[in-house]
Amino acid sequence: MSLHPLVATAILVNVMKKGIHPNYRLVVFRDVSCDFQFISKSCVETRETVEIDGTTYPLFAMDISSASHPFYTGTQKIMDTAGRIDRFYQKYGFTRTEA
């Protein structure tokens, strides 16, 4: 005999221990460097709240996200690898051989 999915879910909810599970809820993640925000489910602890479209959500402020990270925005700095190689050769007494 199999149970209806809703009945099985109700049984599982009643069997779970109280007070040991994290509070899994919708949270607003805001990138403070570029005012980008998105809503996602999370267990993160927050102190602040924000209202979006008439609904109050917990707010988690973060320093960097995909909206501001150089890898995702395409504003990566290109390292001066030629200068680094020359300094390495100079430091250890190597000479550059032209191919």
pLDDT averages per 10-residue partition of the chain, 99 residues: 62 70 92 90 94 95 84 68 76 77
Q: In what order do the strands lie in the sheet with 55-62?
A: 36-42, 25-31, 55-62, 48-52
Whole-number pLDDT of residue 80: 61
Kindly list the domain boundaries of the chain, sorted by start residue.
22-92
Quick one: pLDDT at residue 8? 58
Tell me which residue of 11, 37, 12 sits closest to 26, measured CA to CA: 37
Q: Specify the pLDDT at position 55.
A: 95
